[in-house]
Amino acid sequence: MLSTLNRYTGHLRFVITVIFLILFAVAAFPQQKRTGQGARHELQDFERFLESHPAIVADLNKDPSLVGDQSYLTQHSDLEQLLKTHPELRRKILELTRSCSLTIPTVFDRVSPAVVFIYATSINPYRAADRIERVVGSGFIIDPSGLILTNSHIAFGRQSITVALGDGTVLPAQLVGADPIFDIAVLRVQPLAGSTLPTAALGDSDRVHVGGEAIAIGNPLGLDQTLTRGTISAINRVLPVTFFSLEEPYIQIDTPINPGNSGGPLINQCGEVIGITTAMLSDAHNIGFAIPINLVKALLPPLVSQGRIVRPWLGFHGQFIDGDLQNIFRAPLVPGFLVEVVEPGSPAEKAGLKGGALEITVAGQEFLLGGDIITSVNGIALTSPEKVLEALRGIKVGANVSLTISREGKGLTVSYDIPERPLLPGDGAGQNASLPLADRSRLRPLKSGRGRL
């Protein structure tokens, strides 16, 4: 739902932009003697065209330069005809596209003043030696009042956080909010009296497409204000298995990033932040990942207002299975959500749900069989991964959930109240921050429904 809302917002933004361009063109060319009434008619005609062509709106939102691509226009003759009757509209859209092709030095000059160096320390009282852990990372200022975005594994659980601004000013920072699951944190610094903090503009990650420019500015290995560049390699790389992770994919990049880049901005050629660099595969070359900025923008208000993201806790995790396993093993399996692990102390454990015990691998995919199979949630049959997500989206903290399960061929109903999800050991609450970009869970392409609940 979140990604759908973001796409709709992006499309609406494009519509508003184009409408503005039409009005600009009308005002700028009086020699064409358009009357105000005629301009309103043109505007209404164009609005109706966009409303009846959602596929074209989506295409242009992703790549406005398509208005100058004859091969694309040939496939959409109605758009081609519209642009022929509005030649200034085409020109203005192409000008807008070209204005987002800033040179790399211009992008650096525009964004780097807002990129900060973060130095954090924490103490592990359970270690006999090397109790003090020191972490360096990156971040970027998003508000002149001193709000900074970075990664949770840089800032969460730290006793001391220091931020060095682009001009060398060193300031103490406070943690405003953090979400270890999606690895996002918000810091605050107090600007010096009389100074104004530079900020980075947040872009629209729904408009990112494969092959686009991907520029990173950060502090790799402590080398401050370092720029690297590459391309968007993919946009459908699933986050490590987390709550609702199927809905929030990483942006994959070949831009070189290293420990210390964590929390820094990923930037497009408009000089806008489209993601937060967060991970790389340690045994690969230039395969890195960034958190889409639209996800960050959606989580920012609750992180600032309440310091955390409130999530319901069902207390189990596993994956969706269909009839294929039943056909392979000729076992009494039914389609549904296979419960593989029940978390200790969770409401699911208290309600008596059972996890799996038999590990098998089928076509490279691992299963832990023997646990309950949930066939419906609050009356919604779990017949596909999409149905799993649909059922779980409606579950809120404080509500009661009713699960229909299959256990050893018998049908049962289990219900319990949903508490707020606590911070769990697997959430990565800063434990591996000394190597923040390496040795993290392997990412995999978007595929069948596995997740923690």
C-beta separation of 259 from 438 below 8 A: yes
Q: Show Cβ contacts of residue 208 under 8 Å, excluding neighbours closer than 6 positions.
A: 232, 235, 251, 268, 274, 275, 292
Residues forming beta bridges with residue 280, ordered by sequence position:
288
C-beta separation of 214 from 221 below 8 A: no
Look-up of token digits 């419960």: 339
Q: How far is CA 284 from CA 170, 279, 439, in A?
A: 35, 12, 11
Helix locations, 150-287, DSSP H:
152-155
Token output for 113: 């003043």
C-beta separation of 232 from 303 below 8 A: no
C-beta separation of 242 from 282 below 8 A: no
Q: How far apart are alpha carbons 71 and 408 in whole angstroms?
A: 58
Q: How far is CA 210 from CA 206, 278, 293, in A?
A: 12, 19, 16
- Closest to 166 in 3D by CA, of 138, 136, 203, 202: 138
Check 59, 153, 206, 224 and give the catalytic one.
Answer: 153
Q: How far apart are alpha carbons 295 and 183 in whole angstroms?
A: 11
Backbone dihedral angles phi then psi of residue 42, each to the nearest 5 degrees? -60, -45
Check 59, 183, 372, 427 and give the catalytic one.
Answer: 183
The continuous run of DSSP H or E covering 11 comes out as helix 2-28
Is there a catalytic annotation at residue 262? yes
C-beta separation of 333 from 370 below 8 A: no
Which amino acid, residue 176? V
Check 262, 346, 376, 406 and give the catalytic one.
Answer: 262
Which amino acid, residue 53? H
Is there a catalytic annotation at residue 183? yes
Which amino acids are annotated catalytic? 153, 183, 262
